[in-house]
Structure 1
Amino acid sequence: MHPMQELSPGLVIQGVQPPLNLKDFKLIAFDMDSTLINIECVDEIADAAGRKEEVAAITEAAMRGEIADYKASLRQRVALLRGVTIADMEMVYTQRLQLNPGAEQLVAACKAAGLKVLLVSGGFTFFTDRIRDRLGIDYTRSNVLEVESGPNCGQLTGRMVDQPWGDICDGAEKRKMLLETCAALGISPKQAIAMGDGANDLPMMYEAGLSVAYHAKPAVREKAMVAINSGGLDRLLEVVR
């Protein structure tokens, strides 16, 4: 194990000796909220229901690893979104959501080097599908918000819809999806890079050959091989070229 060292201001490495070669990897897996994008979507949707503070406090505790049952915490937050409309979510996407600095550059560099790109999120398909299309991402896994039919058509019910693979994309599901994608590609998880910022990203980060924390919670920064604490996502290219 190499000791922790600051490669340059705001870029810390431990357990790896750069420069690594991007072509040695075959897959990069990203978390979405606060990693690829600048917001926590669930918190911003809650703002439309006047419940942002309440929801954001639960999100923060979950990301810090202070809530043992992530699924229960997400169900609790989604229940508070009941009555929010699709139009409200569209507004979050168009007015509040931005790609984090360096997102497009890093994804483009990975694709140019032949890597497949996976987006695994505890967030929602309403946003992950758009980010997938915007960045040309190969695979995604995230949660589906249930929408009312009938008189309240277009409003959220406060529940999520079960999917063929399971009910909620939590840390265990992120890990499973990373491993399944590696198996489908015929590669070892050690040929994967995993990037995230919250405690629910750690299970997939432990499996990957290179784990990267991006402006992450303390527990995640400490355990990652690379921690980007300032600057954009493309700072990873200072370590993996």
Structure 2
Amino acid sequence: MTHHLDEPGAPLLFTSGAPGLVVTDVDSTLITQEVIEELAEVAGTRERVAEITSRAMNGELDFAESLRERVATLRGVPDSVFGDVLASITPTEGARELIDAVHAAGGHFGVVSGGFEEVVAPLAASLGIDFYAANRLEVEDGVLTGRVLGRIVTSQVKVECLREWASSLGVPMARTVAIGDGANDIPMMNEAGVGIAFCAKPAVRERVSVQLNVPDLSLAITPLGLSRA
């Protein structure tokens, strides 16, 4: 049975208490943009990158491969682009309210991103987010090389982060929430006590029964047993 959190009478997802940890995807979930597409705008490759992103988020492409392919198009872009993109980022409606509600109930908030630490880290700091994981772009002589550094935040890494953060807080998995929009968020949403597909791709909605199809994260506050801060 599918539960739509944006409909009147949406069910309570926690019958007692509130979640101890909420983890969300970043691009098209916590924020309205896809950061790699904003970077690609500067490189003049936005259309190509957007097409690859769409196919990856719908589960048609291997995420790590698709990320490397997209990042390769950014070669030669000056690293000043990070500040420009960060300034243009728009948090999704209700994002700040959800974060504040989780904190008001004594919980913690984390984000896992297939995007980039150079943007995600300052974004997390500005929103008061407790944990983050994201990819890193290689920069040499002030320009992007078109390569990713270190581990790529795949669907499995997102699951590992959820588990690790919950364990570090002493929060049982049953008291965790994962929210995302893409195919690479499905394992994390299935691993959490409650998984919420947020304005998700069709392939994701088919596999996640709790859905929020209106772009307002604050609509998840009451069903999660939280109160507006």
TM-score band (shorter)?
Answer: over 0.9
2:5–2:219 CA contact under 8 A, matched in 1: no
Question: Residue in 2 aligned with 1:160?
Answer: 148
1:194 CA displacement: 0.2
Q: CA deviation at 1:186?
A: 2.0
In the alignment, the residues of structure 2 paired with residue 93 and residue 171 of structure 1 have an alpha-carbon distance, to the nearest angstrom, of 24
Q: Deviations over 1:17-73 (max 9, x none)?
A: 426358332100010000000110011101101100001100000000111x21111
Q: Distance in 1 between matches of 2:74 and 2:108?
A: 34
- Contact preservation (8 Å) 1:22, 1:113: no
Counterpart in the other structure of 2:211: 227
Deviates further, 214-223 or 195-204: 214-223
Structure 1's 117 and 6: CA in aligned 2 closer, same or farther, altered over 3 A?
Answer: closer
Using the size of structure 2 for normalisation, the TM-score is: 0.92
Name the aligned partner's letter for residue 110 of structure 1: V
Cα shift readout 1:91-149 (whole Å, capped 9, x = no counterpart): 12213x1001000000000010111111111100011101111111111111111111x
Distance 1:146 1:55 in 2: 18
Give 1:8 shift: 4.8
* Cα contact 1:172–1:203 (8 A) shared by 2: yes
Query: Structure 1: which amino acid aligns with 2:12?
Result: P
Offset of residue 4 of structure 1? 2.6
Query: How many matched pairs?
Result: 225
Q: Is the contact made by 1:175 and 1:204 (CA closer than 8 Å) also made in structure 2?
A: yes
Letter in 1 for 2:146: G
- CA deviations on 1:170-225 (whole Å, 9 max, x unpaired) are 10100111111112222221110000000011111111011111111112223224
Give unpaired runs (5+ residues) of structure 2. Answer: none
The answer for the alignment partner of 2:63 in structure 1 is 70
* Residue 26 to residue 53, structure 1, CA distance change in 2 (3 Å): same
Identity of aligned residues (%): 40
CA RMSD of aligned residues (A): 1.8
> Which segment is superposed worse, 69-78 or 178-187?
178-187
SS in structure 2 at match of 1:223: coil
**AA of the residue aligned to 1:128:** V
